[in-house]
Chains A and B, each alone.
Chain A
Amino acid sequence: MIAYVLRRIVQSVLVMLVVALVSFSLFRFVGDPVATMMGQEASQADREALRDRLGLNDPVIVQFAGFIARAAQGDFGISYRLQQPVMELILSRLPATLELALISGTLAFVLGVGFGVYTALNRRGWLSGAIMTVSLIGVSLPTFLIGVLLIWVFAVELQWLPSFGRGDTVDVGPWRTGLLTQSGRASIVLPAITLGLYQMTLIMRLVRAEMLEVLRSDYIKFARARGLSDRAVHFGHALKNTLVPVITITGLQLGSIIAFAIITETVFQWPGVGALFINSVQFVDIPVMAAYLMLIALIFVVINLVVDLLYYAVDPRLRVDRAAARH
């Protein structure tokens, strides 16, 4: 078990190094930040001075080593565009994105599992049919369109919810939260639904398929034959057996939610790291892009690690004799 965890951690570090290389390559190959930052009128001397200050004149390998050393300490340099430390920028924006991702992820998981179980247990009911049809829309409509449609219906026509921004925020230590104010909570509803809808339908369809599969299994038949209640059979015996694949997908989707919040944040003018990234792309603000890339990779790697460890908690077959087992 410990050897397994260590092995996974080493793998994770390797993945992060590769990502670091890609991030670092951005500095070399994506445009010339100096030209973007200084404009047409700057003199050659000014350009060289800026290059020096940004460390762009050092040999590549030195730059890379320095990049990794600094990145490991959370230092990604200074934003070309905003002239602020990148880490500070990201940390100030991160709470907004994490709150959005957490709310929509929870929404997606709870509703996804709930609807998935319901539609599996009531396969022929009209409500199941309705849910399945709506879920098809959730899977096939692109996120930005859903966002725009929601804004149109709930913000423009019904005027129930705000169409953009985060509302009022409160600082709790270093964390700037919008969840403690009325307008903050109202503001998060539409973006959270937009971001979570696709994930919800995905989880729902997965839970439904797995559940149907498990309900056909012999141990469910045997559990019924022993006279256990439907509740015990469905939720005690069946649901738990569907969880391994569901945990995998949900974990990976949580990473995607954070990573692909970019579109939702853009549509709703949500002041998170996704919006920061989009602005950085427009200005070729490479330190921010590189840091964002590393951050997202880190989140994915950590989630994957946690997911792998969760398997052990759910499935006893994985706990013993890994070497002897078929897995």
Chain B
Amino acid sequence: MTEPLLSVRDLRVEFPTRRGTLTALDGVSFDIMPGEVLGMVGESGAGKSLTGAAIIGLLEPPGRIAGGEIRLRGERIDTLAPDAMRKVRGKRIGMVFQDPLTSLNPLYTVAQQITETIRTHADVSEAEARQRAIALLDRVGIPAAARRIDDYPHHFSGGMRQRVVIALALCAEPELVIADEPTTALDVSVQAQIIDLIKEICAERGAAVMLITHDMGVIAETADRVAVLYAGRLAEIGPVKDVILNAEHPYTRGLMGSIPTLTQESDRLVQIPGAMPRLTAIPRGCAFNPRCGQAFERCRQDRPDPVNRPGNRQVACWLHAPEVTHG
């Protein structure tokens, strides 16, 4: 087996508050292989974006990594000094944010923002950086890139701006791109194009992608594997087709059941009763147990750790614990 590109182990992110410490991520572990697309799904507040921010070292204070480790090609990056971490950001891990309308600095031209980034990471002349920038804009599908490069962000539409953002995230050729809800703020008609673009361009450059989204449809079409987060904990992770067609965690099943399909005959979508607990009130045992139809005594007492399952899958659920035989 090849060495993972990114390896996250027992990641724990805490927010100290006046009323005690909130644990926003608790014992999250996963790997991303080189060139792989890992989808990361979950409800709002499940910790998807926090995971991305923790990896790239941009947790907003007072949030902090309180435990676990993050390795990029075997090298720990969660303990790097700020200067060293800055060289990882952009250069080795690129990031695409949700809202292209606010991701670009309105006072600088696209050319200025791209060449600045290229020259931060590579020792090239202004002219050389500009040539690269034009080629990159051309590649992400900006028409007449050579002319439009000197436009300001407000001259571009939302979809075009997201293409510029992708160009910016990729301009130092990172090995991993974290795309945090890259299409949520876009028109439906543009969403598929942007997702395809991210997938294509990363495949072309051999970059792995961590795709954070709450859109299972996007995951199904794009990701190789998917990780499901619930209340800051990993519920299930595995190859995308297996997880979608044959979810093992009751929460994942609930998520899949809530996706409408045209071919489906049923009148009503399945919904999961209740709401995800707030970080201040995560129940004892399995975080999902109050909403779970199959919960039993143990679920209310002990917290399940992810266990390996056949087919390169992991699930954190007592239903699948090795010593339990349960229907």
Chain A residues engaging chain B, CB cutoff 8 angstroms: 217-219, 221-230, 232, 236-237, 240-241, 314-317, 320
Contacts of A228 in B (CB 8 A): 86, 90, 116-117, 120
Contact with A along B95-114 (1 / 0, CB 8 A): 10101001111111100000
- Contacts A232-B120, A317-B152 hold; do A222 and B107 have CB atoms under 8 A apart? no
- B148-183: which residues lie under 8 A (CB-CB) from chain A? 152, 154-155, 165, 168-169, 172
Q: Can you list 30 residue pairs at the A/B interface with Cβ under 8 Å?
A: A218-B99, A218-B102, A219-B104, A219-B105, A222-B95, A222-B97, A222-B103, A223-B105, A224-B58, A225-B56, A225-B89, A225-B95, A225-B169, A226-B89, A226-B90, A226-B95, A226-B120, A226-B168, A227-B88, A227-B91, A227-B117, A228-B116, A228-B117, A232-B120, A236-B116, A237-B105, A240-B107, A316-B106, A316-B152, A316-B154
Contacts of B56 in A (CB 8 A): 225
Contacts of A315 in B (CB 8 A): 106-107
Verify A227–B120 contact, CB threshold 8 A: yes
- Contacts A232-B120, A241-B107 hold; do A227 and B172 have CB atoms under 8 A apart? yes
Given A218-B97, A225-B58, A229-B86, 9 additional A-B pairs, CB 8 A: A219-B102, A225-B97, A226-B168, A226-B169, A226-B172, A228-B86, A228-B120, A316-B106, A320-B155
Contacts of A230 in B (CB 8 A): 86
Check B87 for interface membership: any CB of A closer than 8 A: yes
What CA separation (Å) do A229 and B172 show in the bound complex? Answer: 15
Chain B residues engaging chain A, CB cutoff 8 angstroms: 56, 58, 86-91, 94-95, 97, 99, 102-109, 116-117, 120-121, 152, 154-155, 165, 168-169, 172
Verify A227–B107 contact, CB threshold 8 A: no
Contacts of A240 in B (CB 8 A): 107
Quick one: closest B residue to A220, CB to CB?
Answer: B105
What is the distance, in angstroms, from B106's C-beta to the closest C-beta of chain A? 6
Verify B107–A225 contact, CB threshold 8 A: no
What is the distance, in angstroms, from B91's C-beta to the closest C-beta of chain A? 6
Quick one: closest B residue to A124, CB to CB?
Answer: B61
Contact of B87 among A218, A225, A227 (CB under 8 A): A227
What CA separation (Å) do A236 and B112 show in the bound complex? Answer: 11
Contacts of A232 in B (CB 8 A): 116, 120
Quick one: closest B residue to A223, CB to CB?
Answer: B105
Verify B120–A229 contact, CB threshold 8 A: yes
- Contacts A227-B121, A228-B117, A317-B152 hold; do A222 and B104 have CB atoms under 8 A apart? yes
Verify A219–B103 contact, CB threshold 8 A: yes
What CA separation (Å) do A219 and B103 show in the bound complex? Answer: 4
- Contacts A222-B165, A225-B97 hold; do A314 and B107 have CB atoms under 8 A apart? yes
